[in-house]
Amino acid sequence: MLTFYEHPLSPYAQKVKIALREKGLPFEAHTPSGLGSGADYDPAFLAASPRGEVPALVDGDTRVFDSTIILEYLEDKWPGSPLLPRDPQARARARMIEDLMDTHYEAINWGLIEIRYMGRITGAMADTLRARAAEQTAAWRRWLNVELGDAPWFGGSQFGLADLAVVPYLNCSAEFGLRPDPGTALAEWFERVNARPAVAETAREALEIMPALDGIAPLLAAGAFKREYRDHRLEWIIRSGGMQVVLDGIAKDNIRFFSEFDNV
């Protein structure tokens, strides 16, 4: 049985769960203790994921972290129900869509979660960042609509990697009222993809745990939880007008950065 370290709200974990379900691979899901704290991690989890991030997969003696690498591992080891087309150009295209969603798009949702749930961004700053996020996601939806074209799926005639890499992000945006425009190809795809059992089950698990976010601001204020400001997320908040949020977080020591595996 595969062990899968995850959090139902993590879009990266959702990508992998959709793939596991599409491939019919049974797995045991665990949300590791210490996730998001920067300390006190479950040691078995840390052995699989030295950055302390979900998702991570344990398959016997094999430990794999990072959603993209896990998806490659699944495809290499269980090529049945393939998630990538055969054509090299189409494979590259699916991977490029995944990369853009995992980096730039994810950062926008991360920012919206900061604003709605973490309690450190309020007033005019929150309005500015929310407005930027709305403009940015609209631009992404225009781009995705062009990428999809007339095809039923992002990879062409078959559901695959690009679809499972887009849907967790668009589902999260939808929770913030940012949805594909009715009548567009993207809106039709959005319905089609969410009707797939693997996607629907994964999305339902995320929605079920969403209310837990309501209790997170007091934990953050008490110093029990520090959100990691890194990579495209850090870039997003700076380029969208939130530099002061970063400076305040450093001054109050309630944000954190990557720190050379000092938990290992």
Cα separation, 137 vs 150, in Å, equals 21
Which regions of the chain does DSSP assign to beta strands (E)? 2-5, 27-30, 56-59, 62-65, 227-228, 255-256
- The type of residue at 167 is V
- The type of residue at 111 is G
- Distance (Å) of CA 243 to CA 110, 114, 124, 237, 247: 15, 14, 14, 7, 6
Q: According to the binding rule CB under 6 A, does residue 22 interact with ligand GSH?
A: no
Q: According to the binding rule CB under 6 A, does residue 163 interact with ligand GSH?
A: no
Q: According to the binding rule CB under 6 A, does residue 36 interact with ligand GSH?
A: yes
Q: Which is nearer to ligand GSH, 56 or 186 (CB)?
A: 56
Minimum distance from residue 152 beta carbon to ligand GSH (Å): 26
Minimum distance from residue 77 beta carbon to ligand GSH (Å): 18
Region near ligand GSH per CB under 6 A, out of 62-70, 83-91, 160-168, 187-195: 62-70
Q: According to the binding rule CB under 6 A, does residue 8 interact with ligand GSH?
A: no
Minimum distance from residue 49 beta carbon to ligand GSH (Å): 8
Question: Contacting ligand GSH (CB under 6 A), which of 22, 75, 98, 102?
Answer: 102
Q: Which is nearer to ligand GSH, 163 or 228 (CB)?
A: 228
Identify whether the C-beta of residue 33 lies closer than 8 Å to the C-beta of residue 41: yes
Region near ligand GSH per CB under 6 A, out of 53-61, 73-81, 126-134, 247-255: 53-61
Task: Compute the C-alpha angle 102/106/108, nearest 5°.
Answer: 150
Q: Which is nearer to ligand GSH, 46 or 199 (CB)?
A: 46
CA torsion angle 122 127 132 135 (round to 10): 140
Of 233, 227, 220, 205, nearest to 9 (Cα)?
205
Minimum distance from residue 97 beta carbon to ligand GSH (Å): 14
Residues that bind ligand GSH (CB under 6 A): 10, 12, 35-36, 52-55, 66-68, 102, 228
